[in-house]
A and B are shown apart, each in its own frame.
Chain A
Amino acid sequence: MSDGKQDETPVDSTPREPEGAAGEPDAGSDQPSRAQSVLREILESSTLVVIMAIVASLAIGGLLILFADEEVREAATYFFSRPSDTFQAMGDALGGAYAAMFNGAVLNLNANDFAGLIKPFTQTLTMATPLIFAGLGLGIGFRAGLFNIGAQGQLLIGATLGAYVGFAWHLPWGIHLLVAVLGCALGGAVWGFIPGVLKAKTGAHEVIVTIMLNYIALNLVAWLLTLDTFQRPDSNNPISPIVDETAQYPLILGSEFNLHLGFLLALACAWGVWWLMERSTLGFEFRAVGANPRAARTAGMNVSKAYILVMTIAGALAGLAGSAQVLGTEKVLTTATAGSLGFDAITVALLGRSRPVGTVMAAILFGGLRAAGPTLQVQAGLPVDIVFVIQALIVLFIAAPPLVRSIFRLPAPAHEKEVAA
């Protein structure tokens, strides 16, 4: 955007400081303007936009709860004779819904013992685990300039290979899990490598290729599950045998909780991805390729190699997300193993601004929403779809930062003004 002559173009409203102005020592005395600029920086930070998007989504979600609540609708029919009833019902509905969400996702205040109290949060973390894995991989892709839609397929293929190792091979304790996890990663990596190599060698667009590979993966798994090798011997349904206990992630908080070792592995991967992107020469290449592939190429970087590696690593991480399903929570392979995880992970990565810490936090948020769904239905009598609407609203708000800014009257960052002018 910023060409040397850019400040001479008429559509550009960004002032360019004259040469030298930036080099002058800042006057120590002008404290107010410094404080102002710090504030501006905070307001312009995208983290704030993300948080505001979540707040806005929950608020609109609240409106939907009001519409969905039967008592509110009933009370509203005689609103003008007794408005207080309506407000009472609204308060009850909202209070009930948010309490249900809290009970379902964070702490169950109705529980009798400590385990029951914290169980919802461990459930949230369990739900977040596959999203962390897949979101991390997608985040690497986004930062390298690749819009990978293929986590779904990569996850499925990884899960298939891992599950096969899990139920078909019988290896000693420890080794079995390790091999099964590596199998998941390998399966995903292969499914990521394909679009990577097609992009690098032929220029095929990764969005289209990965979408198509999702279909191929889904149908491939559906077919595999009809074969004797994969199908459970005593069943006619497309479902695999249960993976051996030696290949399952151990439960880290005991049998009362579902939280398994995969969660810790996901956190370790988050650290690994942070190191890769921020500290390693490879990550430097990835980021340079993502931010300006032409400059990266001119500086001697191998852009094709970077694309292939990024897609392969992202695929491996999506495959590990599959491991959280087949070696963790579900213990079997079905065509529904991937659910909508691969697509939710895109949201998670975007919400986390493609950074590992952000991705982990976004995944926990989404894990919480998923964990809250059943409670919302049982406790507050609300349709579970509310959760998906809130998820969708978050995506909408994230995708439209200017909208969020104008709702909350935040100043636009300089570069967006430039585009808008």
Chain B
Amino acid sequence: MRLELREITKRFGDFTANDAIDLVVEPGTVHALLGENGAGKSTLMNVLFGLYDADGGEILLDGERRVFTGPGDAMAAGIGMVHQHFMLVPVFTVAENVMLGHEQVRGPAKLLDLDAARAKVTEISDRFGFHVDPDALVEDLSVGAQQRVEIIKALSRDAKVLILDEPTAVLTPQETDELLEIVGQLRDSGTAVVLITHKLREVQAIADTITVIRRGTVVGTAEPTATQEELASMMVGRDVSMTVDKDPADPGEPMLEISNLTVIDPATQLTVLDSVSLEVRRGEILAVAGVQGNGQTELAEAILGLAEITSGDVSLDGEPLAGRSIRENLDAGIGFVPEDRTEDGVVAAFTIANNLILDLYDREPYSKRGAIDPSAVADHADEQVERFDVRTTSSQALTGSLSGGNQQKVVLARELARDLKLLIASQPTRGLDVGSIEFVHKRIIEERDKGVAVIIVSSELDEVYALADRIAVMYHGRIVDIVSPDTDRDTMGLMMAGAHGDQEEAA
């Protein structure tokens, strides 16, 4: 089925999210929609999927004009969408999820025909080699498998056009490769695939056509042969350097020493960190790599004191950290960029100025004798907003109104405002666009060059390679190995899945 969007325009108040966008998706091709966060990619697809009413333009399927008033219409017309956040019922089985909303019944009692759903799942799963058990509970499946369930759901409704919204954001490198393989198979079977992403590597790997969107308009199309730099500069609208300039590390004496650190989650009694030992020296960046949920978060939290240490020792500059309050650890010179910036990093309902003093509010000059000095806070905020290039109309704007990248800059500005000995940054560029990533990386390297010991926790291999002087790979709460950044991606991927990288260590 050939999908054509003509002059689609969507406005929200004064803001034009999509400005007369034209897009043609041919059957049997993968069409990548590339753009920064907030460029309008998702809005466009939501218009197509019937979730938004367009203010202008038309949708044509095989040359015929169609109007969708809701996702049901779009699905009936053969458009399937896999959302970034899965729309699955965790306590239902795969087959139940697949038939949800399209329940088939049989017999006079109108019983649910689970067998039919099961057969359909098996059929699609076998056709594309998904290896999905129709009777497995969705909550027991890995993220990658859940995504395949979403794809099966779309295909079971005979989707001829499949929209994948940021599908790799939650996947491991191996799962990403598997997904790209699946996308290839779908294309070969004649499905038109729209891949929404801001990841250049995937676009290059799979796309047949690339359309780049910036600020709600199509800024151009590109061939998959285009270099990452070319694609990135189209996305951002200026030249972007994809590699981070950094001098070789000049590590000094050990700053953070961890030995046999074990953390047992008090709620689940699971061992989330299993005798981890490592050392980070002044002026070096240690990246902790691994698939999400393998203890990296807990490692960062245990160092700061957010997670309770069950056993083992952590010391900063020779002083033990265990048993001290978070405040004492922050005062001792730890900077902490939390993984989930909206939950742990900023208070969205506070102004930018107040977020910038969230851990400095009881120090001079921001407060004296228990009273906050609003003008000192405002001056500090204006200065930091300027220095970190936070894009806002005023430092008194609410932090929740900022884009993710700018919120992250606020967190970073706050943490780097103190004199640090150790900087812990978890997923420092998650959800950020190319331009902001570049900025954040530069700042982190500047800290390293000032002699700060830096720990980066990241599930993005690109980021790990860009920043790390050494890489610790974690799996199931243990450190699999600590390797140098010239270890190749395949080996790294295997280690992230738990395989030991002995041979690399020897090399």
Contact = CB atoms under 8 A, between A and B. Distances in A.
Contacts of B169: 5
Interface stretch (B35-43, B199-207, B456-464): B35-43
A17 interface: yes
Contact of B404 (A6, A297, A301): A6
Interface residues of A, number: 44
A8 interface: yes
A15 B336 CA distance: 30
Given A15-B43, A18-B215, A297-B306, A284 B431 contact: no
Interface in A1-58: 1-11, 13-23, 26, 33
B165 A300 contact: no
A4 B348 contact: no
A296 interface: yes
A395 B436 CA distance: 46
Given A10-B83, A279-B372, A297-B326, A15 B42 contact: no
* Interface size grouping (class) on chain B: 35 or more
A19 B436 contact: yes
Interface string B335-350: 0101001111111111
B393 A22 contact: yes
A2 B400 contact: yes
A353 interface: no
A178 B81 CA distance: 70
Interface string B429-444: 0111101100000000
A415 B348 CA distance: 12
Given A3-B431, A9-B85, A281-B372, A295 B346 contact: yes
Nearest to A16: B38
B370 interface: yes
Contacts of A16: 37-38, 403
Interface string B303-346: 01010000000000000000001110111000010100111111
B37 A5 contact: yes
A300 B38 contact: no
B432 A4 contact: yes
Nearest to B362: A281
A284 B38 contact: no
Contact of A14 (B12, B84, B391): B12
B358 interface: yes
Interface string A270-303: 0000000001111011011001101111111110
A74 to B, nearest CB: 53
B254 to A, nearest CB: 25
Contact of A18 (B216, B327, B372): B216
A15 B13 contact: yes
Contact of A10 (B165, B330, B406, B433): B165
Given A279-B371, A295-B345, A5 B84 contact: yes
B341 A4 contact: yes
A19 B42 contact: no
Contact of B350 (A13, A23, A279, A287): A287
B408 interface: yes
B280 interface: no
Nearest to A289: B347
Contacts of A33: 14
B12 A295 contact: no
Nearest to B328: A300
Nearest to A15: B12
Contacts of B92: none
B215 A295 contact: no
A288 B367 contact: no
Contacts of A9: 42, 83-85
Given A10-B49, A292-B347, A298-B306, A5 B433 contact: no
Contacts of A298: 304, 306, 326, 336, 338, 344-345
B359 interface: yes
A297 to B, nearest CB: 7
Nearest to A2: B400
A166 B43 CA distance: 68
A284 B15 CA distance: 34
Nearest to B237: A20
B371 A300 contact: no
Contact of B361 (A14, A15, A284): A284
A276 to B, nearest CB: 10
A18 B358 CA distance: 26
Contact of A296 (B36, B347, B403): B347
B70 to A, nearest CB: 12
A7 B37 contact: yes
Contact of A2 (B17, B329, B348): B348
B392 interface: yes
Among A11, A285, A294, A296, which residue has the most Cβ atoms of chain B within 10 A? A294
Interface string B113-135: 00000000000000000000000
Nearest to B432: A4
B493 to A, nearest CB: 24
B431 A4 contact: yes
Nearest to B354: A284
B503 to A, nearest CB: 37
B407 interface: yes
A295 B400 contact: no
Nearest to A411: B13
A16 B329 CA distance: 36
Contacts of B85: 9
A417 to B, nearest CB: 9
B350 A3 contact: no
A64 B156 CA distance: 58
Contacts of A285: 361
B362 to A, nearest CB: 5
B190 to A, nearest CB: 25
Contacts of B42: 7-10
B166 interface: yes
A10 B52 CA distance: 9
B221 interface: no
B431 A300 contact: no
A324 B507 CA distance: 81
B273 to A, nearest CB: 18
A1 B400 contact: yes
A246 B241 CA distance: 79
B214 interface: yes
A299 B326 CA distance: 8
B347 A291 contact: yes
B80 interface: no
A11 B43 CA distance: 10
A294 B361 CA distance: 17
A302 B305 CA distance: 12
A17 B372 contact: no
B45 to A, nearest CB: 8
A411 to B, nearest CB: 10
8 contacts: A19-B391, A19-B433, A33-B14, A288-B354, A291-B348, A295-B344, A298-B345, A415-B400
Interface of B: 12-15, 17, 36-43, 45-46, 49, 51-52, 81, 83-85, 165-166, 169, 196, 214-216, 304, 306, 325-327, 329-331, 336, 338, 341-350, 354, 358-359, 361-362, 367, 370-372, 374, 391-393, 400-408, 430-433, 435-436
The 4 lowest CB-CB distance pairs between A and B, nearest first, are: A4-B404, A4-B431, A300-B327, A15-B12
Interface of A: 1-11, 13-23, 26, 33, 279-282, 284-285, 287-288, 291-292, 294-302, 415
